[in-house]
């Protein structure tokens, strides 16, 4: 069974006002005092966020427990500094984020200008193990059309700089400002994948392999495929759902490759439209059907994703968990819906953040 790991980025906020706080260095210092935190928490582009990475897990129950534990640990470290952590993919309140002071991030600020300044966004990255680069690239080629559905499920960023963006995942739109972000073309082989990455780096627009921000890529650090399209999820069970579906997509794509089935030939341009549609609508209205790239009701497209990965879900023992989590998500709504419901009820973006602090560990 393939292992799965999750990286989550969390916002640091004032628990009373909901405003982001530049406390990452202090939080990481507190975490480093405990052995359990030394290999879990990491700095990110901005001082208003922290990232943690779970260990590789085969069982989704174990993965879910580790996500909850890491969120609680991050909350405890932040609380000692008068801060709170919240799983929001953008700050609902206006913020002028501060760049983390290291050579890499300062280079990005010089090279890319304003987009670096505004990139205070939090994602959820899912790592799924693969046997080789060749298998990994075959997987990337075959799961491309389905990734936008994960964006819709995880959407958790409706507000931006104090305003309703009219998107379910505005993080996706902000992230798309990077010139190296978005869907990729079909590679066909590991050799062509690595040549593509080398060509991007040779332009000197991209500093290194870590800045090749494809929607899904081969990890530079682990023997995994890294799926990068999800907002950080408001609720831990949604993060586990995205991880289980991600593993299902990898298993299904690898099986298709071994059976000699060619990937769907949708262009990167069409896939970019599918991502935009998912970011705009979330789980409501229409999404683009991954097979046809034509609009269909979101519920039908999500059902098609489940059908696509059903064999893998059953083989991994994830089918019942995924069905239950999806039913819960459909009833409760994704993070974007929860945030808007709080805003409609209270009229206060501060109350949105305060409510989401509670949801983060629920």
Nearest to 304 by CA among 323, 290, 317: 290
Q: Judge whether residue 107 has pLDDT over 60.
A: yes
Using DSSP bridges, classify how beta strands 286-288 and 224-231 pair: parallel, antiparallel or unpaired: unpaired
- Residues 112-129: pLDDT tens digits? 999 998 999 999 999 999
- Residues 285-298: pLDDT tens digits? 999 999 999 999 99
Structural domain span for residue 245: 4-360
Q: Where do the DSSP E strands lie in 177-242? A: 216-218, 224-231
Would you state the pLDDT for residue 362? 75
**Average pLDDT score, the chain:** 96
Instruction: Identify any residues that bridge with 128 across adjacent strands, giving them in sequence order.
Output: 4, 225
164 and 331 in contact (C-beta within 8 Å)? no
Would you state the pLDDT for residue 35? 61
Would you state the pLDDT for residue 40? 85
Share above pLDDT 90 across residues of the chain, in percent, rounded to a whole number:
94
Q: Judge whether residue 32 has pLDDT over 90.
A: no
Would you state the pLDDT for residue 101? 87
Largest Cα–Cα distance of the chain, in whole Å?
57
Q: Judge whether residue 360 has pLDDT over 90.
A: yes
227: three-class secondary structure by DSSP:
strand
Q: Judge whether residue 37 has pLDDT over 80.
A: no
Whole-prediction pTM: 0.96
46 and 106 in contact (C-beta within 8 Å)? no
Whether the CA torsion 236, 241, 247, 249 is positive or negative: it is negative
- Residues 187-223: pLDDT tens digits? 999 999 999 999 999 999 999 999 999 999 999 999 9
Say which CATH number the domain at 51 has.
Answer: 3.30.590.20
Rounded mean pLDDT of 322-330?
A: 97
Torsions phi, psi of 93, nearest 5?
Answer: -90, 155
Which residue has tokens 């586990």? 240
- When pLDDT is cut at 50, 70 and 90, the band that residue 4 belongs to is very high
Structurally, the chain folds into a number of domains equal to: 1
Nearest to 186 by CA among 227, 219, 145, 147: 145
Would you state the pLDDT for residue 50? 96
Rounded mean pLDDT of 238-258?
A: 98
Rounded mean pLDDT of 44-48?
A: 93
- When pLDDT is cut at 50, 70 and 90, the band that residue 48 belongs to is very high
28 and 43 in contact (C-beta within 8 Å)? yes
Q: Judge whether residue 36 has pLDDT over 80.
A: no
Where b means 16+ CB within 10 Å and e means fewer, 246-255 reads: bbbbbbbbbe
């Amino acid at each position: 069974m393939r292992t799965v790991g999750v990286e989550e980025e969390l916002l640091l906020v004032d628990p009373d006002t909901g405003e982001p706080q530049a406390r990452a260095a202090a939080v990481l210092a507190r975490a480093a005092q405990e052995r359990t935190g030394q290999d879990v928490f990491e700095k990110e582009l901005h001082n208003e966020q922290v990232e943690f990475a779970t260990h590789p897990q085969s069982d989704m129950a174990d993965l879910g427990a580790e996500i909850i534990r890491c969120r609680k640990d991050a909350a405890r470290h932040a609380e000692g500094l008068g801060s709170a952590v919240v799983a929001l993919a953008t700050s609902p309140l206006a913020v002028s984020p501060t760049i983390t002071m290291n050579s890499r991030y300062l280079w990005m600020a010089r090279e890319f200008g304003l987009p670096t300044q505004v990139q205070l966004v939090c994602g959820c990255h899912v790592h799924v193990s693969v046997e080789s680069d060749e298998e990994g690239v075959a997987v990337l080629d075959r799961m491309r059309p389905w990734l936008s559905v994960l964006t819709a499920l995880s959407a958790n960023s409706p507000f931006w700089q104090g305003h309703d963006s009219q998107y379910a995942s505005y993080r996706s739109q902000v992230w798309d400002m990077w010139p190296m972000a978005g869907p990729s073309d079909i590679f066909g082989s590991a050799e062509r994948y690595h040549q593509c990455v080398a060509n991007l780096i040779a332009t000197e627009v991209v500093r290194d392999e870590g800045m090749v921000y494809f929607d899904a890529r081969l990890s530079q650090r682990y023997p995994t495929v890294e799926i990068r399209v999800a907002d950080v999820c408001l609720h831990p069970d949604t993060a586990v759902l995205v991880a289980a579906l991600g593993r299902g997509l990898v298993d299904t794509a690898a099986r298709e490759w071994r059976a000699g089935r060619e990937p769907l030939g949708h262009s990167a341009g069409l896939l970019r439209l599918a991502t935009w549609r998912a970011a705009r609508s979330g789980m409501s209205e229409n999404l683009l059907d991954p097979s046809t790239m034509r609009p269909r009701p979101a519920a039908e497209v999500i059902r098609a994703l489940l059908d696509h990965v059903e064999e893998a879900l059953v083989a991994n023992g994830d089918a019942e968990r995924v069905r239950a989590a999806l039913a819960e998500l459909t009833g409760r709504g994704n993070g974007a819906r929860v945030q808007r419901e709080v805003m409609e009820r209270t009229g206060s973006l501060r109350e949105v953040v305060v409510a989401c602090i509670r949801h983060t560990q629920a």
